Amino acid sequence: MAFEINKFEVTKKKRLEKNTFNVECNIENSVEIDKILSVCHSAQSETVEVLNGVINYTGYIDICIIYLTVDGEIGTINSSCPFTSKFEDEDIMVGDKVFIKVTVEDFSIDSVTNSNIKINCICEQTSTLIGSREISNITSGDDDICIKEDEISVNTLIGQTKSNFVVVSDFSIKEPIKKIISSDSQVSVKNVESGVNFVSVSGEVITRILYLTDSDHFENSYVTENFKEEVELNGVSRDTISEAFAFIKRSNIKCEIDNVDKGVEVKLTIPVDLFVTAYEEKKIVVVKDVYSIQNELQVSTQSFEMTKQFLGDIFESKIDGSLSLNEEQPRVDKIMFVGGSNLAVTNSYIKDKEVYVEGVTKTNVIYLNDENNSLNSVVIEVPFVISDKADYKDDTRVFVSAIITDVDVAVKKGREFLFDAKIKVRVDFDCEEVGAVISSVEAVNEFPEHDCAIELVFAKSGQTAWDIAKSIRVKEEVIMLQNPNLEFPLPQDENVVIYYQKQ
């Protein structure tokens, strides 16, 4: 009696434990700063090394600082601060794919000198481990072994790839300007489609420009550029489900200005990193049940978990909030400009066919106080909960990427800020499924020969020919050939007659 082992692969995604770490950013400075008005930040992983039990990776924090000099000038510093970190988990294996997300939860300005600005960032890291795991399944061609096969669906990983491309944004400012203070670009993936050996990803890059006019007015505008990229990935078909995430290294954005009549022409060159992962659901045949007509068998089964990926979705929503100044803070006589916004998603889940996204946005507002003729800054912190329809079960897992646009801040009675903005969200879904297969079979004892020529079996309603054959150690076709008048599964209790032939 011989059994062969066939192996197949399934995809298992695991969310590794999130944790926080500190990064000290030392930013070079060459002017005498009176005060920091605004700090905007974003973080991203860069190089990743996957070893057994550990993931080591490098990353960077892009920081944009808007400051006021002692001479009353507004200036900007853009800096990229590198860091290293890691994840540890016993399930991590060499060859696994990984998607890492890093966000700056909070920061503190530790010191400001004429040569250096020291900022301490508190970062949160989350990661999704994407692995292929081998599952063993037995087969046999022995004549005395009876096997019942079944077709099951398994979810497999096709592959993961990274692509880089550049989005160029050309636009005009219809008035003379002194300088562009800051440009902040965000990227949003809107649609992911699979083709033959490629994945098509479309989305938009939204850039907020803050500039100072010749008449000393601060103005800002939003510029949107759509993109569509095809990323090669062997093995992908039109039935493949793919997911994509995009990031911008803000410190690498290039801004060129060309003065023209009555204004300027602006050219932004924005580098985008695109990460694509593709999955496939396919049918395989496995052994569901087995028995021998000659030997007692000891059968072992193996259960396994696999992850099923669903199509992602996008939606938009509005958020609003307010902030009242305390008595120690100078009143607001004029809002000068919004320095920028930082967005963090803190939780996401599905409940009653709705996907909920919770988070907080922090917006830097710079305002003028006439009494002491001073520029002041304040951070408006707005927690939010937004939702959209999602036709999935409550235990479906959610992965969210979001950007904030169209930020507007107004002031009421000099002491209350009113905030509203638009948030664009992409949501990807997956869930855990459990399967089981027979992984090993061992012959224990040999059965004695049947000691009678005929046997009457009292079969119960609902039993199949397989059930009866297994119970008396004959082949399934024997039951059906010797009882042609019976219908299986049995609609009622029946007497089944079996005739044995002497060997």
396 and 481 fall within a common domain:
no
State the DSSP H helix or E strand holding residue 467, giving kind and residue range, or none if neither: helix 465-472
Residue 415 forms part of a structural domain? yes
155 and 269 fall within a common domain:
yes
Choose the weakest-confidence range: 20-29, 62-71, 258-267, 328-337.
Answer: 258-267
pLDDT of residue 263: 86
Residue 250, SS3 per DSSP: helix
State which of 258, 286, 314 marks the end of a domain: 286
pLDDT of residue 106: 92
Residue 169 forms part of a structural domain? yes
Stretch 435-446: mean pLDDT, rounded? 88
Residue 4 forms part of a structural domain? no
409 and 453 fall within a common domain:
no
Query: Going by C-beta distance under 8 Å and a sequence separation of 6 or more, which residues neighbour residue 337?
Result: 181, 210, 218, 220, 366
pLDDT of residue 1: 56
455 and 442 fall within a common domain:
no
Residue 441, SS3 per DSSP: strand
Instruction: Report the C-alpha gap between 389 and 429 in whole angstroms.
Output: 13
Residue 3 forms part of a structural domain? no
Domain that includes residue 488, residue range: 449-499
pLDDT tens, 102-125?
Answer: 999 999 999 999 889 999 999 999
Q: Burial-class residue 369 by CB neighbours within 10 Å (0-12, 13-18, 19+).
A: middle
State the DSSP H helix or E strand holding residue 60, giving kind and residue range, or none if neither: strand 54-69
The share of the chain scoring above pLDDT 70, in percent, equals: 99
Please give the sequence-ordered ranges of beta strands (E in DSSP) within 233-333, or none if there are none.
Answer: 241-248, 254-260, 263-292, 295-309, 313-324
Q: State the pLDDT confidence band at 333, using cuts at 50, 70 and 90.
A: very high
177 and 91 fall within a common domain:
no
Task: Name which of 314, 383, 313, 390 is nearest 344 in CA terms.
Answer: 383
State which of 93, 109, 131 marks the end of a domain: 131
Single-letter amino acid, residue 208: R
Task: Name which of 392, 153, 96 is nearest 280 in CA terms.
Answer: 153
pLDDT tens, 123-169?
Answer: 999 999 999 999 988 888 788 899 999 999 999 999 999 999 999 99
pLDDT of residue 503: 45
State which of 432, 447, 462 marks the end of a domain: 447
Q: pTM (2 decimals)?
A: 0.87
298 and 282 fall within a common domain:
no
Q: State the pLDDT confidence band at 91, using cuts at 50, 70 and 90.
A: very high
**Dihedral of the alpha carbons of 147, 151, 154, 159, in degrees to the nearest 10:** 100
342 and 270 fall within a common domain:
no
- Mean pLDDT, the chain, integer: 92
Residue 251: both structure tokens together = 């410190």
Q: State the pLDDT confidence band at 502, using cuts at 50, 70 and 90.
A: low
417 and 473 fall within a common domain:
no
Q: Identify which has the larger pLDDT, 263 or 19.
A: 19
Residue 376 forms part of a structural domain? yes
pLDDT tens, 338-394?
Answer: 998 999 999 999 999 999 999 999 999 999 999 888 899 999 999 999 999 999 999
Residue 1 forms part of a structural domain? no
429 and 457 fall within a common domain:
no
221 and 148 fall within a common domain:
yes
Could you tell me if 457 and 491 are in contact, meaning their C-beta atoms sit under 8 angstroms apart? no
